[in-house]
Structure 1
């Protein structure tokens, strides 16, 4: 059982839950930029939340499979087609041999995920299949995927059914990105610390899986922009001599020599990663204890959402399924009602 990459979108890589517990040895965690989105894609296919899937930036590409397989695309709204038939993101579908899956551009998000039932079964490297691009570790030869690559699929041991969420997943879109001050916030004057929450920051084009540079405000360090290198984590906000804050992401280095003014809490880091270039946002300071409480609530809500997936009808569309899809966004007069036949003729759009 295998998957062939026919065309590859930007930064298309194999990712799983990442390499845990190795940062003290200088090994980056890697793994997904948006963990909850990857977990949802896997759950929709009957996989474990941290099974290996495909991650892409902006546009997915096209794929074919050597055997019938269920798949799901998550991360945001995007154009997904099988043989020019448009299908929905956020639920699982079937791909048969001879068919081509095309995953187009993301809308209002950056990172997308494509999971396949059984998971991507490339060899483990230090206990993980996650690709770390800068060190060439994991995934397929430690690199981004390209046209012609063949990926093995694991055995699908889940129930043979397609799934969708029973209700919309929790979202905090538009809310401030929460941070905990430190560990080197004492390198900055009180006025600069205040800028963190009083200023709108902007997502710049200088971003990848390692880090993202923010614009909108400079953060000068009164005690200088160099420290003795110490540990970093995904979410660390470093401030180098340019005075532009840099937020470390999934593929970040394990140590750094710039003062870290604050750290993005784990629950909000995926949301920051998904902000498109040019987006303006604000930070909000919380305590360490508050950050932990938010994380526990976030993890509990995600577990509940993944446990609440339901089987979706397949084959001939039924009225109960069409009504549950909320195909009409508001109340209209009788003269504007579209005949049901027009929906059926277009398929499950």
Structure 2
């Protein structure tokens, strides 16, 4: 059992996502940074579908009522166990009564708290994740608040007292190639053309990629709203029926400022779809904080697949290393 002592306001229970219900209008939900969540579960000996906490607004304080193992991944937030600070991307055993604090990170966006065995909340439509928009799953379909108690499922990793960390993706996955003038304070996000790409002129498509887009404060788990010094308009007015959309799709509303759809996005929409963020860069997008800037780079489908191979290779290296540590447990 663990108890929430305080929270910044947007901490939710998530898991790998609610799959197979989009045809009924039910979104996927799950983590904004799936890679960080997957690695966190590996670091506590969990299955890939175990539930965890996603922390979007900091700080978070929690007390554990039983011995367990936890890992914090995602941003560079350094958890404190009874005031003792741990490095980012770290796994440690905790004892009954210990208090874990997750302060605001110096860089990065969301963080993940994975607990051995996983968090035990009711399974709704095959998943434990929270759908804030629809108001179900997780802890009664809402963000966690002070006084909430969460049960934990059993785990074999509890027999290990090892303290260890892993190399985060920003150090373990090759960066995309960029031009020499590209700012190191701007996140590069690769995209592939979407259905209405050709409805925009070549000049507009170029501006989409050369503009530095700022992430605005009204971004959330439904969509990341961007603001830039150019407006993206199709060459001709488009009258589109609502059509399917998925996380990562870049929609262009009438004002011409992009919206990148996120995990809690609706399953259909009527705005033109200009591009789709490649799967390999969704974690980069999730770790870009409010107010930071990003740029898009259009790549081929083969380049997108190659980038995904690099992410999978990183995941495989982490998995092998963690399994070696837990082999005697």
Shift of 1:265: 0.7
- Aligned partner of 1:157 in structure 2 is 156
Distance change >3 Å, CA 63–CA 108, structure 1 → 2: same
What whole-Å deviation, never above 9, does each CA across 1:98-122 have from its counterpart, x for those lacking one? 2211111122111000011110011
- Aligned partner of 1:28 in structure 2 is 27
Q: Secondary structure at the match of 1:177?
A: strand
- Aligned partner of 2:17 in structure 1 is 18
What whole-Å deviation, never above 9, does each CA across 1:303-341 have from its counterpart, x for those lacking one? 2222223649xxxxxxxxxxxxxxxxxxxxxxxxxxxxx
Name whichever of 187-196 and 250-259 sits farther off: 187-196
- Aligned partner of 1:194 in structure 2 is 206
Shift of 1:247: 0.3
Q: Do 2:67 and 2:158's aligned partners in 1 also have CA atoms closer than 8 Å? A: no
Instruction: Give runs of aligned pairs for residues 160-199 of structure 1, distance below 5 A.
Output: 160-161=159-160, 162=162, 164-165=164-165, 169=169, 170-171=172-173, 176-199=188-211
Q: Secondary structure at the match of 2:103?
A: strand
Q: Do 1:238 and 1:246's aligned partners in 2 also have CA atoms closer than 8 Å? A: yes
Unaligned runs of 5+ in 1: 313-349
What whole-Å deviation, never above 9, does each CA across 1:39-89 have from its counterpart, x for those lacking one? 111111111233100001131411112211111111122242122222223
- Aligned partner of 2:243 in structure 1 is 230
Q: Find the structure with the greater CA-based Rg.
A: 1
Shift of 1:159: 6.1
Name whichever of 190-199 and 143-152 sits farther off: 190-199
What whole-Å deviation, never above 9, does each CA across 1:227-267 have from its counterpart, x for those lacking one? 11101010100011111100001111110000011111111
Shift of 1:224: 2.3
Q: Do 1:32 and 1:250's aligned partners in 2 also have CA atoms closer than 8 Å? A: yes
What whole-Å deviation, never above 9, does each CA across 1:139-189 have from its counterpart, x for those lacking one? 010100001111110011236223534656414565621101121112212
Equivalent of residue 313 in structure 2, options 288, 291, 300: 300
Q: Secondary structure at the match of 2:147?
A: coil
CA distance in 1, matches of 2:211, 2:138: 39
Q: Do 1:58 and 1:112's aligned partners in 2 also have CA atoms closer than 8 Å? A: no
Equivalent of residue 282 in structure 1, options 295, 306, 319: 295
CA distance in 1, matches of 2:269, 2:257: 15
Spell out structure 1 runs of 4+ moving beyond 6 A.
Answer: none
CA distance in 1, matches of 2:84, 2:166: 24
Q: Do 1:64 and 1:100's aligned partners in 2 also have CA atoms closer than 8 Å? A: yes
CA distance in 1, matches of 2:168, 2:259: 32
- Aligned partner of 1:342 in structure 2 is none
Distance change >3 Å, CA 105–CA 71, structure 1 → 2: same
Q: Do 2:45 and 2:157's aligned partners in 1 also have CA atoms closer than 8 Å? A: yes
- Aligned partner of 1:339 in structure 2 is none
Distance change >3 Å, CA 180–CA 120, structure 1 → 2: same
Distance change >3 Å, CA 267–CA 101, structure 1 → 2: same
- Aligned partner of 2:180 in structure 1 is none
What whole-Å deviation, never above 9, does each CA across 1:262-315 have from its counterpart, x for those lacking one? 111111012112111222222111122332232233223212222223649xxx
Unaligned runs of 5+ in 2: 176-183
- Aligned partner of 1:48 in structure 2 is 47
CA distance in 2, matches of 1:34, 1:28: 16
- Aligned partner of 2:219 in structure 1 is 207
- Aligned partner of 1:323 in structure 2 is none
- Aligned partner of 2:276 in structure 1 is 263
**CA root-mean-square deviation:** 1.9
Shift of 1:13: 0.3
- Count of equivalent residues: 311
CA distance in 2, matches of 1:17, 1:192: 36
Q: Do 2:34 and 2:283's aligned partners in 1 also have CA atoms closer than 8 Å? A: yes
Distance change >3 Å, CA 52–CA 5, structure 1 → 2: same
CA distance in 2, matches of 1:143, 1:55: 12
